[in-house]
Amino acid sequence: MKTFPLEKYGTTRPIQLQVAAYMNGNLAIEMITWEDGCPEPWNTLTVNLTWPCEKDCAFIDTNNNGKEILIWLKKHKLAAPTGRELKSGFCTYPEYRFQEALLREIDPDGYEAYLQV
């Protein structure tokens, strides 16, 4: 199991990413923390908007994760910005493209299920 350290609220948490798909087929990524050696849901990295995304692309939930999550994505080479943004309510969400090889590595079963939707 691969984890990525996330510094938040004065603590560094090991975060595992779980790959899934939203009902419309868009990429969904959940963040699971392993602070005490047991998995516990931390947050959702992505947000599902009405805009259909290309394969391996997702809008990042900067509303609930803060803009610093974008630095975390870049630091761990998880995803790169596509340059597209979509506004929903009072928030604007950036779209990022994730690396297929990395998604397959961190959650092979979840990635295969995502491809089937």
Q: What is the 3 state secondary structure string of 38-56?
A: CCEEEEECEECCCCCCCCC
| Coil, helix or strand at residue 65 | helix
In this prediction, residues 9-32 reach a mean pLDDT of 96
How far is Cα 45 from Cα 65, in angstroms, rounded to an integer? 7
81-116 pLDDT, tens digit per residue, is 999 999 999 999 999 999 999 999 999 999 999 999
The pTM score is 0.94
The residue with greater pLDDT, 42 or 1, is 42
Domain boundaries, the chain: 3-111
Query: What is the C-alpha to C-alpha distance for residues 45 and 62, in angstroms, rounded to an integer?
Result: 8
